[in-house]
Each structure stands twice: as C-alpha cells, then as structure tokens.
C-alpha cells in the first residue's frame, strides 16, 4: 500500500520472475489458501516480496499481489530496507478483534497512483505464524492496523476500492476504468496473458498439502 505515483510497474506475469501485478489482474480477486508448510520456498518468496515492496516504495505487500494464492503478507511500516527489525511476516493471519473505526487515505501497489480514503477498524488484534513457524499475536492501531487490514483483505480478494464509500469512489471510477482499459489492451497486444491462462496458473500455485 501507499505507492508513490512515480513508481513504474510491469504488468507482465511470467512463471519465474516475481512481479507486482496491477489491477485487474485475476490474482487480486482470488481467495488465497493457507500455507501448509513454512519451508525454503516460503522463505524465498518472502525475501523476494520484501525486495519488491522496497523497490516500489511500499510498506506492505500481499502474496496475491505477486500472483501467488498463498495466505501471507509482509509489512515494514517504515518502508526502509535498512530497518530490518521493522519487517513483519504474517503467514495464515487471522484478525481476532476489531475496535472503533477511523478513516484515512490509502494507496496500493496494484493501483499505482490511485489514492482514496478508506474506513477501517481503529484497533485490531491479529494472530499469524512467523517464518520460523511460531504463532504470534500482535495488536495495532493507526497505520499498523490499517496496513494489516488492507493486506489481509488482499488474501480474500478484497481491494481497497471495494471499501470506499460511494462519495469517495465515484470520482475515482474513471481512473479505475483506465486501469481496466490498459490491462485489456495489454492482453490484446499479447503483452499480458489471457485471464484463463492466469486463472489456471493460480490454481496450480495454490499451496499443496
């Protein structure tokens, strides 16, 4: 979330190169499946996701955004790769408690340049597994609560534009339509794979028991 407008994104999905996908890539509407085993693959994916997140000036990134239907996301609220202590990996997260509501502006790396106010729970308690496979529980407010809710939504195929009120969303609709037009144009030009290809890949990439 909170992409800077000048960031440049590639919309091309290849099998081996991890890239941030842009709306309306079908992975963004996929309900991700729980990670079955925290192994070397998961650690490699997390390391690559963090790298991509920093490269795109983000503070959070969900696996759906790299076309992996796995229930995990990464956060570093400082957005600073030097602040390794601030990195948090949430594997199979569950939001246990929510309190209050607060509205503030959000962005998303899958919607470069798009910003809008979203109402979220003000305080949350979330439970997840870390990269060592240990369960942990954290509470958060402000940006932490907002970022967790935004990323956790991604795992359910829910996007921040879905959470906007009519009033906030209406002026943004032309921009959202433009994302769709550009994506479809990329598909027509063969630069972006057809949805059916991507949907098949997503099914194949679901975590295996």
Q: Where in the sequence numbering do the catalytic residues fall?
A: 151
Residue nearest to Zn ion (CB): 108
Which is closer to Zn ion, CB of 107 or CB of 193? Answer: 107
Asked if residue 114 binds Zn ion (CB under 5 A), the reply is no
Asked if residue 67 binds Zn ion (CB under 5 A), the reply is no
Cβ burial, residue 151 (10 Å; 0-12/13-18/19+): buried
91, 130 contact by CB (below 8 A): yes
Which is closer to Zn ion, CB of 1 or CB of 63? Answer: 1
Dihedral of CA atoms 15, 109, 136, 127 in degrees, nearest 10, equals -100
How far, in Å, CA of 122 to CA of 175, rounded? 28
Asked if residue 28 binds Zn ion (CB under 5 A), the reply is no
Which is closer to Zn ion, CB of 148 or CB of 202? Answer: 148
Asked if residue 27 binds Zn ion (CB under 5 A), the reply is no
Asked if residue 124 binds Zn ion (CB under 5 A), the reply is no
Which is closer to Zn ion, CB of 38 or CB of 108? Answer: 108
Q: How far is CA 8 from CA 18, 32, 56, in A?
A: 15, 26, 8
Cβ burial, residue 148 (10 Å; 0-12/13-18/19+): buried
Phi/psi of residue 64, each to 5°?
-55, -35
Q: How far is the CB of 73 from Zn ion (least distance, A)?
A: 9
* Options 49, 108, 155, 161; binder of Zn ion; rule CB under 5 A: 108
Q: Among 18-26, 70-78, 106-114, 120-128, which window interacts with Zn ion (CB under 5 A)? A: 106-114
Q: Among 1-9, 86-94, 126-134, 192-200, which window interacts with Zn ion (CB under 5 A)? A: 1-9
């Amino acid at each position: 979330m909170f992409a800077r407008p000048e960031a440049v994104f590639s919309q091309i999905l290849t099998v081996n190169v991890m890239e941030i996908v842009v709306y309306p890539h079908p992975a963004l509407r996929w309900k991700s499946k729980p990670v079955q085993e925290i192994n070397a693959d998961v650690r490699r994916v997390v390391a690559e996701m963090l790298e991509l997140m920093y490269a795109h000036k983000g503070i959070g990134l969900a696996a759906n955004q790299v076309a992996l239907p796995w229930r995990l996301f990464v956060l570093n609220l400082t957005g600073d790769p030097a602040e390794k202590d601030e990195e948090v990996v949430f594997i199979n997260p569950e939001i246990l408690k929510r309190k209050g509501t607060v509205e503030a502006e959000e962005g998303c790396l899958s919607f470069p340049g798009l910003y809008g106010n979203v109402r979220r729970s003000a305080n949350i308690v979330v439970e997840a597994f870390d990269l060592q496979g240990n369960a942990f529980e954290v509470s958060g407010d402000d940006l932490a609560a907002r970022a967790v809710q935004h990323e956790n939504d991604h795992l359910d195929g829910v996007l921040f534009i879905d959470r906007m009120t009519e009033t906030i969303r209406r002026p943004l609709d032309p921009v959202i339509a433009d994302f769709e037009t550009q994506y479809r144009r990329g598909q027509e030009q063969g630069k972006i794979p057809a949805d059916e290809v991507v949907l098949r890949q997503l099914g194949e990439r679901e975590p295996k028991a």
